[in-house]
């Protein structure tokens, strides 16, 4: 599983290789804006001329340092993100001129207060619901506030034309990513879930979007060509698994491995490190601020109440990808996803009539044996 084809390795290594790229961009005078969440509007940052980069950390390496300031029973994603910030082990944080956070959970919004002592932090106040005109107006105003903050900090003007240009580019990237992850609809798929994860997680660290779009299309063409030639990476008997829940990172590859080493294949990732944000485009026919507000507000995250958009997307994906079972990956102390798991289980079991299991884990590798046992039993049951 670790021996990825060269083109997959390119995406897999993009986060690490991007360290040099981001330094070169800084040396050339480009501004860098760190982000933590898919709710942060990429198009607005890009239209300012800055490079948006993800700071959302998914490793247990700096957690012990973070726990000197943050509670031990806090979500590992928050502790990891803060730990990388205070230890200067993350070049992306180091080179960021500004950081944009959003109030998706209480732990993150309190952590941003500490980050604000180190860096220039702008926090977007996300509504707790995407229902109604009041929520839309609040979020639209937050996007305008971000636009004005970027203009002031970087001494630029974010025009309607620049926003439209960024919208079109990002939509083209989303479509290329969509074409790639839809390879998972094929039976059996021409790529493994591990390969799909590597590309989806690495794409955000490729700053030349035109080159990335070309690489994605080349990758899709290659996969389809080899498939037509009769090459099969995945057994036709492999059980088709959809992963939902919290963002996944290198530390949670243990879940993918457990699935794909025990007779399953991950055909779809319905989470914010997967296809949740990519699945919907920004409307290019509307006023750009309105269109961006509408698109991002409708991301189906568990921080929203009610969260009908997650159910609707799950329903569509389960049917389109011919899913045999759903695995819900929940990070320890992520209360919104943990509470919502009951609703997801009921929907998957009763309405879609397929098996469901949830896994609560963190970024350590101490539960690998237990995960293998539980997931092997789940897949055997399928």
- Per-residue pLDDT of the chain in tens (382 residues, 90 and over written 9): 445 556 666 666 777 788 888 999 999 999 999 999 999 999 999 999 999 999 978 889 999 999 999 999 999 999 999 999 999 888 999 999 999 999 999 999 999 999 999 999 999 999 999 999 999 999 999 999 999 999 999 999 999 999 999 999 999 999 999 999 999 999 999 999 999 999 998 898 898 999 999 999 999 999 999 999 999 999 999 999 999 999 998 788 999 999 999 999 999 999 998 999 999 999 999 999 999 999 999 999 999 999 999 999 999 999 999 999 999 999 999 999 999 999 999 999 999 999 999 999 999 999 999 999 999 999 999 9
Asked whether residue 229 is domain-assigned, the answer is: no
- What pLDDT is recorded for position 17? 80
Asked whether residue 219 is domain-assigned, the answer is: no
Identify which of 352, 358, 360 has the alpha carbon closest to the alpha carbon of residue 378. Answer: 358
Q: What is the pLDDT of residues 131-151, one digit of tens each?
A: 999 999 999 999 999 999 999
In this structure, what CATH number is given to the domain that contains residue 131? 3.40.50.11890
C-alpha 285/C-alpha 44 separation (Å) is 17
Asked whether residue 29 is domain-assigned, the answer is: yes
Tally of structural domains, the chain: 1
Range of the domain at 149: 22-161
End-to-end CA distance of the chain: 23
Supply the DSSP string of 9-69, one letter for each residue: HHHHTHHHHHHHHHHHHHHTT--EEEE--TTS-HHHHHHTT-EEEE-----STTHHHHTTT
Identify which of 317, 315, 312, 281 has the alpha carbon closest to the alpha carbon of residue 184. Answer: 317
Asked whether residue 263 is domain-assigned, the answer is: no
DSSP state of 122: E
């Amino acid at each position: 599983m670790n021996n990825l084809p060269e083109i997959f390795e390119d995406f897999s290594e993009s986060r690490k290789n991007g360290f040099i790229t981001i330094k070169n961009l800084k040396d050339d005078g480009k501004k860098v804006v760190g982000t933590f969440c898919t709710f942060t509007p990429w198009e607005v940052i890009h239209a300012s001329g800055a490079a948006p980069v993800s700071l959302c950390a998914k490793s247990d390496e700096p957690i012990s340092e973070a726990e000197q300031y943050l509670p031990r029973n806090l979500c590992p994603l928050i502790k990891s993100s803060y730990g990388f910030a205070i230890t200067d082990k993350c070049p992306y944080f180091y080179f960021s001129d500004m950081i944009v956070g959003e109030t998706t959970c209480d732990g993150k919004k309190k952590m941003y207060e500490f980050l604000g002592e180190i860096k220039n932090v702008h926090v977007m106040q996300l509504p707790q619901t995407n229902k109604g005109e009041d929520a839309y107006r609040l979020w639209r105003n937050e996007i305008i506030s971000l636009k004005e903050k970027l203009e002031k900090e970087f001494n630029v003007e974010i025009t309607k034309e620049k926003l439209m240009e960024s919208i079109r580019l990002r939509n083209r990237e989303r479509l290329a990513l969509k074409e790639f992850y839809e390879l998972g609809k094929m039976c059996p798929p021409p790529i493994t879930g591990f390969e799909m994860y590597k590309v989806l997680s690495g794409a955000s660290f490729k700053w030349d979007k035109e080159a990335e779009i070309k690489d994605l299309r080349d990758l899709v063409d290659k996969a389809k060509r080899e498939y037509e030639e009769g090459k099969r990476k995945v057994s036709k008997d492999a059980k088709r698994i959809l992963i939902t829940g919290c963002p996944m990172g290198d530390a949670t590859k243990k879940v993918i491995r457990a699935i794909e080493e025990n007779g399953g294949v991950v055909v779809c990732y319905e989470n914010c490190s997967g296809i949740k944000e990519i699945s919907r485009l920004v409307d290019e026919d509307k006023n750009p601020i309105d269109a961006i507000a509408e698109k991002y507000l409708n991301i189906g995250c568990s921080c929203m109440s009610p969260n009908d958009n997650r159910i609707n997307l799950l329903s569509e994906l389960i049917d389109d990808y011919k899913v045999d079972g759903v695995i819900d990956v929940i990070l320890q102390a992520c209360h919104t996803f943990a509470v919502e798991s009951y609703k997801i289980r009921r929907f998957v079991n009763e309405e879609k009539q397929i098996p469901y299991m949830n896994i609560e884990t963190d970024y350590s590798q101490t539960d690998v044996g237990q995960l293998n046992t539980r997931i092997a039993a789940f897949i055997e049951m399928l």
